[in-house]
Amino acid sequence: MLDFLCSKQFYLPIIYIIVGIILYGIIAGSINKFSKFKFKMNAKNDKKRITIISVVKNLIKYFIAIIVILAILSVYGVDTTSVIASLGVVGVVLGLACQDIAKDFLAGIFNIFNEAYAVGDTVKINGFTGEVIEAGLKDTKIKAYTGEILTISNSAFTEVINYSAANSKLVLDINVSYNTNIDKLESILEAMFDDIKSIENVCGEVELLGVSSLSDSSVVYSILIECKPMTYIGVKRKVLKLIKENLDKHKIEIPYNKLDIYVKER
């Protein structure tokens, strides 16, 4: 037992594995530092950088793992030259047997370089909506806001709806009484534009769209607000609060259903 522990068959594989781990750490760290200089630091480029780094790191990890395995095999007397030569034949066999895996890899490469999505984007794929938490060469992982994680092969989908690729358009309907003076309403709303633009995640212009419909009990007036991707729900809450406060201040009625209850005395 002591002879085995002192033999190269025992300690060399351990050394090779340690060297492989250290080498991967050095290369991965260098890639991280280089990418920060290569990409301009903004939200879109940062997502792209994270996605590309993830793929490159995986390729390097697999390459180092193969080298370490071949080095360990040579320690045990395996002719690695013949192993490498036979990889060509094995590759052909695996290529025929694993066509689906090859499709996944090709689809993953196309998705990354076509910028269909990146890590951190909110997307809808095959009816599942969530945030991309991992974009690999073989598959993509999406996490829904409720916590479920979908792992889907890259070749299993052909269409991606990316909600983070462009700013969101929030169309907000405001119901006011038929007695409301529309010119006065527009003046009030226009006076609120600076306050609306100062709300977090609001960007671009705020536009008055005008009367969108005449309902049974109210006039429906619409405004358009541009906000950052996937922030329209939070923006909507804050804008509605602001509108309610200003309409109350100017005595503009917001119609609501009223229910009269009559109690019959016996």
State both tokens at 246: 């200003």
Residues 188 and 130 in one domain: no
**For residue 99, how far is the Cα from the chain centroid?**
28
Distances (CA, A) of 43 to 6, 47, 129, 150, 235: 53, 6, 21, 24, 19
pLDDT tens, residue by residue, 138-189: 788 999 988 899 998 888 887 888 888 788 889 999 999 998 898 999 999 9
Task: Sort strands 168-176 and 219-227 into parallel, antiparallel or unpaired.
Answer: antiparallel
pLDDT at 55 over 90: no
**pLDDT at residue 86, rounded to an integer:** 61
Residues 118 and 177 in one domain: no
Residues 196 and 158 in one domain: no
Residue 258 lies in a domain: no
Residues 12 and 88 in one domain: yes
Could you tell me the residue range of the domain that residue 37 belongs to? 2-97
Q: What is the DSSP string of 13-61?
A: HHHHHHHHHHHHHHHHHHHHHHHHHHS-SSHHHHHHHHHHHHHHHHHHH
**56 contacts: CB under 8 Å, gap ≥ 6:** 31
Residue 260 lies in a domain: no
Residue 266 lies in a domain: no
In three-state secondary structure terms, 196 is helix
Kindly indicate the confidence band of residue 73, based on its pLDDT and cuts at 50, 70 and 90. confident
Residues 36 and 74 in one domain: yes
**pLDDT at residue 90, rounded to an integer:** 54
Residues 66 and 117 in one domain: no
pLDDT at 69 over 50: yes
State both tokens at 148: 């479920």
Assign residue 128 the CATH number of its domain. Answer: 2.30.30.60
Residues 142 and 178 in one domain: no
Residues 132 and 92 in one domain: no
Residues 130 and 216 in one domain: no
**pLDDT at residue 239, rounded to an integer:** 93
Average pLDDT over the chain, rounded to whole? 80
CB 138 within 8 A of CB 108: yes
Of 128, 143, 162, the residue that ends a domain is: 162
pLDDT at 88 over 80: no
pLDDT at 43 over 60: no
Domain count, the chain: 3
Assign residue 87 the CATH number of its domain. Answer: 1.10.287.1260
Least confident of 40-54, 105-119, 180-194, 238-252: 40-54
Q: Report the percent of the chain where pLDDT is more than 70.
A: 80
Q: Using the 8-state DSSP alphabet, how is residue 163 labeled?
A: T
pLDDT tens, residue by residue, 183-212: 999 999 999 999 999 999 998 888 999 899
Angle CA 86–74–10, to nearest 5 = 145
Residues 59 and 129 in one domain: no
**pLDDT at residue 97, rounded to an integer:** 47
Residue 31 lies in a domain: yes
> Who wins on pLDDT, 139 or 109?
139
> Who wins on pLDDT, 46 or 156?
156
Residues 67 and 123 in one domain: no
Residue 105 lies in a domain: no
